[in-house]
């Protein structure tokens, strides 16, 4: 898996990330390139951290009977390219050259379907609590690598591409701690 390369000759799977392949992905449209990074926040169950549930959701292994909230998301098939845990651990679920299912109904700069041309990064977090310093360090390292590989035009929040539908990464996310991904 780590030997596979994208169309630019770069490894599809980053060697400094733990690799947990998700089936919730597909091919990007022909000729489509990565131009956008979308920052998300996720916690499962809501406002709880550290458990295996996010990984289980992204790999279709979540026990929907384990928590009342999980019944609300039964049948959901989602993924992101990356997850950054509270301690800064980086997990990759989808190859960078593939389309992860993270943005849903979305629009950026007049263009719908942001999954087609974006990389999705989930941070383990919620709207009510600040993110950890280790998460910002990992995020900035990851953004630097993505900037090296792709012509990233912007780094945005899920709320920026799905306003009114999504709030993440939320009011506790400190955008001032994110290095400019457009160089």
pLDDT digits (tens, 9 = 90+) for 88-119: 999 999 999 999 999 999 999 999 999 999 99
Enclosing domain of residue 148 = 18-177
- Residue ranges for the chain with pLDDT beneath 50: 1-2, 181-183
Active site residue 153: no
Residue 8: inside a domain: no
pLDDT of residue 179: 87
Residue 29: inside a domain: yes
Residue 10: inside a domain: no
3-state helix/strand/coil string of 68-125: HHHHHCCCCCCCCCEEECCCCCEEECCCCCEEECCCCCCEECCEECHHHHEEEEEEEC
pLDDT of residue 14: 96
pLDDT of residue 2: 41
pLDDT of residue 108: 97
* Total-model pTM: 0.94
Question: Active site residue: 10, 27, 89, 122, which one?
Answer: 122
pLDDT of residue 6: 64
Domain CATH number, residue 136: 3.40.80.10
Number of domains in the chain: 1
Report the chain's C-alpha Rg in angstroms. 15
13: which 2 tokens? Answer: 């799977």
pLDDT of residue 11: 79
């Amino acid at each position: 898996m780590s030997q596979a390369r994208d169309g630019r000759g770069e490894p599809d799977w980053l060697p400094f990330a733990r690799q947990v392949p998700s089936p919730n992905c597909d091919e990007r449209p022909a000729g489509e390139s990565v131009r956008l990074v979308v920052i998300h926040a996720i916690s499962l169950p809501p406002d709880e951290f550290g458990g295996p549930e996010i990984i289980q959701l992204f790999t279709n292994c979540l026990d929907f009977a384990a928590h009342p909230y999980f019944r609300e998301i039964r049948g959901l098939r989602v993924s992101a390219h990356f997850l950054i845990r509270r301690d800064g651990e980086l997990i990759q679920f989808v190859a960078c050259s593939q389309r992860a299912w993270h943005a849903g109904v979305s629009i950026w700069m007049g263009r719908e379907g942001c999954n087609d041309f974006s990389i999705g990064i989930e941070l383990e977090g919620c709207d009510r609590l600040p993110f950890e310093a280790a998460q910002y360090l990992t995020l900035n390292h990851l953004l630097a690598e993505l900037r090296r590989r792709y012509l990233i035009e912007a780094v945005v929040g899920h709320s920026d591409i799905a306003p009114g539908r999504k709030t993440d990464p939320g009011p506790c996310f400190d955008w001032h701690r994110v290095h400019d991904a457009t160089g």
